[in-house]
Amino acid sequence: MPSLKTVLKGKGKEVIISRDLPTVIIGERINPTGKKKLAAALEAGDLELVRKEALAQVEAGADVLDVNVGAAGVDEVDMLPKAVKVVLETVDVPVCIDSANPDALAAALAVHRELVPDGKPLINSVNGEEKSLKRVLPLVKEYGAAVIGLCMDEEGIPPTPERRLEVAKKIVEMAEAMKIPREDVIIDCLALTMGADSKAGWVALEAIRMVRAELGVNMTLGVSNISFGLPEREVINGVFVAMAIAAGVTCPIVDAAKLRSYILAADLALGRDEYAMRYIQAFRKRRKGR
């Protein structure tokens, strides 16, 4: 399968996702999951922490920022567009608009278009359920966005790699039937926590290899999910992100400050960093106090 190119556009920066280019880092930190302070701030309508996290993540090497405001007591239809606006005002990287609520996605996309008329955001996400495909794919089309397709459907998250591939195929086919190009669909094979199921990592990796071989699309993965509840999460996340990249993930969702060095090392080990320039450059900058 040839490597497809997904182009995302923020206010200033264009980011290209492809197996032939360095791995693209989607920063995960604008997300109240496990962050009491951020959850409380969002509940109070305070977006100062969102602004801070946006700046810090770009400084740490994030190429795209995931924006998720899902927490108890937060009206996502109201807050997601506001958070996207703050991020677009603060940094120039593309955004990944993260919500399970299609109305919140639609509201955030409208604000995105207003602020960056020639931009191209990433919608996170659609899944294989009829009602999700029917509601979200028209938004992808209307806004000329790219979209993350989760490998789950009416029956939940398939337990086998083969069935995750089937869901991925269905999403890609439904998108193509609506004239959404295949390169604008990024598949997420889903990393579940290995603390609950020790085969969760393997199932995701095997699904990634199958999707790469059969569909050739770009792939993301919420890497931190894998280590919930386990000790030394950075060890697990660092090893797992390298294995996922080797298997075919091209734009993982991670904490850039913690995982960028592992991702640079993975790209180097896979022959995607000529003369080790990026790896050397990253650590040279760091020594100068960056």
Where do contacts with ligand THG occur on this chain (CB under 6 A)? Answer: 28, 31, 33-35, 66, 68, 98, 124-125, 148, 188, 191, 220, 222, 224-225, 253
Least distance CB 274 / ligand THG (angstroms): 30
Looking at the Cβ atoms of 233 and 278, the one nearer to ligand THG is 233
Q: How far apart are CA 87 and CA 140, in angstroms?
A: 20
Residue 243, Cβ density class (10 Å: 0-12 exposed, 13-18 middle, ≥19 buried)? middle
Q: At what angle do helices 161-177 and 200-214 cross, to 10 degrees?
A: 40
Looking at the Cβ atoms of 19 and 29, the one nearer to ligand THG is 29
Looking at the Cβ atoms of 241 and 253, the one nearer to ligand THG is 253
Least distance CB 11 / ligand THG (angstroms): 22
What 3-state class would DSSP assign to 172? helix
Q: How far apart are CA 102 and CA 25, in angstroms?
A: 24
In the chain the beta strands, taken as DSSP E runs, fall at: 6-9, 14-17, 26-30, 64-67, 95-98, 122-127, 146-150, 185-188, 219-220, 253-254
Least distance CB 191 / ligand THG (angstroms): 6
Looking at the Cβ atoms of 31 and 57, the one nearer to ligand THG is 31
Looking at the Cβ atoms of 26 and 273, the one nearer to ligand THG is 26
Looking at the Cβ atoms of 86 and 123, the one nearer to ligand THG is 123
Q: How far apart are CA 87 and CA 26, in angstroms?
A: 14
Least distance CB 96 / ligand THG (angstroms): 8
Phi-psi region of 271 (alpha: psi -120 to 50; beta: other; left: phi over 0): left
Least distance CB 231 / ligand THG (angstroms): 12
Q: Which residue type does 13 have?
A: K
- Across the beta sheet with 64-67, what order do the strands follow? 219-220, 185-188, 146-150, 122-127, 95-98, 64-67, 26-30, 253-254
Closest CA to 214 of 286, 161, 251: 161
Looking at the Cβ atoms of 71 and 86, the one nearer to ligand THG is 71
Backbone angles phi, psi at 126, to 5 degrees: -115, 160
Least distance CB 155 / ligand THG (angstroms): 18
Least distance CB 224 / ligand THG (angstroms): 3
